[in-house]
Amino acid sequence: IRFSKKQQRKKMISKTTSVSSQKIRCNSEKFRETLTKIMSEDRERPDEENHNIDEMKLMKQLRQAGKM
């Protein structure tokens, strides 16, 4: 039986998520926390120059949150 690309991707994703759904749930909590924290920080000082720096910081923080 040949699977379509979409089906294969779905299969892979379900395989990886079932492995550690507990850990992922924990991560998503931290992820959401980090995200809301950054968003509120952004609202406090909406100056355009810092936008790129913020994006880099965001990526860095999200990567760290993903490692936990």
pLDDT band at 37; cut points 50, 70, 90: confident
Residues 67, 34: Cα–Cα separation, whole Å: 13
Summarize pLDDT for 56-67 with one digit per residue, the tens. 777 787 777 776
Summarize pLDDT for 9-36 with one digit per residue, the tens. 777 666 655 555 656 666 677 777 887 8
Region 46-51: what's the mean pLDDT? 56
Whole-number Cα distances in Å, 41 to 2, 10, 28, 63 = 49, 36, 20, 18
- Return the domain boundaries, the chain: 24-68
Residues 8, 14: Cα–Cα separation, whole Å: 10
